[in-house]
Structure 1
């Protein structure tokens, strides 16, 4: 009987030790889980950007300056197979090659008149570009629009840009018409751009299609819109005035 009792005692002792060992294991496991959870929490917290970091990133993203080309089918790249062949896109390639922090925005609309430009300038200028290239008026001239109206519309566009984005530098791109529109009309049409540039103290491109207009090999079949080679020359015409504004 004593032997039986002794066996029961050792059995109880073994069971008790096993229970304590299990409890101890659970305790260690709980500590490990807690420690891991805390470490994970710390790691997660470290990966969350602070308000200061977020503000710095936002400021960095908005540091890129913009050049907005506001015009008609010439700016829009009418008739080109590749949208990257237009003069605004060629300008972007030139800017990128010089590693200048500027983005060119193409805001050209085929068929646009000065009246159309006047109607959309209010929302376009909300982009507050650093440089605003105004290239409009050719469609007015080809339609024989009264020159007083063309002049008034261009002045209205300039006024809106000056009012809503006063720090923006404006470049006015001059235009000329084919001689079949009549000498008096074409002469006055050419002069109105020079007058507006002088009156408003604008950067001025006398004729954006210089060395392109009227040259068959540099224009599409219609004889009006530049082809790929023509747009490269147009980009050079713009670059002559734009470059000094970008480089220190």
Structure 2
């Protein structure tokens, strides 16, 4: 069996920054006898979440008293309204929002102020998309496929952005249909460069292997997209080395 590891494998810059910030916050809280919570799961990776829990870092629950705690905003970001709610408790906020996501938030906010309707190409219900929608000032729409374009209302001028982990090819197809429908539009290519590079590498790598193994949690949008763009090559999710050791492949199998 031969294994080819993608050059782009590993955490992206946004997740690395979030990890650094939450671990730094945990060290400070130990010295100050405080608690640290994350607003939602920091990332969709079971092993990382378990490691954080062992260090006393828990996901914020509805009944938690956070008045003297530190709340870490995860890489996906949150809505302005949710930020105000956390601030009102008196908690210390540690903002670990990915800089790429912050850029999209700013684009939406600035254009919403100028009267633009916002169209977010992304996954409805995803934490990042929920956060981005909060900057649209009540005039935002989420679509995930070219077929969704026809269901959108008529709008005078639109600002078009993407979830940072969106599929590059899907984004391009949807944008073409949006341009045909809305003549007064502004398109911002907000897919993270790490995302696009990984997707390109997976497409190329899958052409020269017998199977693809995607290391990551099933709840991750990034992980799922990488799996599904593998050009119909057999793929499977692996969340830790124990799972991989139980897998069986022929000696001549090439794995990406």
Q: Same fold (TM over 0.5)?
A: no
Q: TM-score, normalised by structure 1?
A: 0.29
- Which has the higher Rg, Structure 1 or Structure 2? 1
- Flag the structure with higher helix content: 1
Higher strand share: 2
Higher relative contact order (CA 8 A, sep 6+): 2
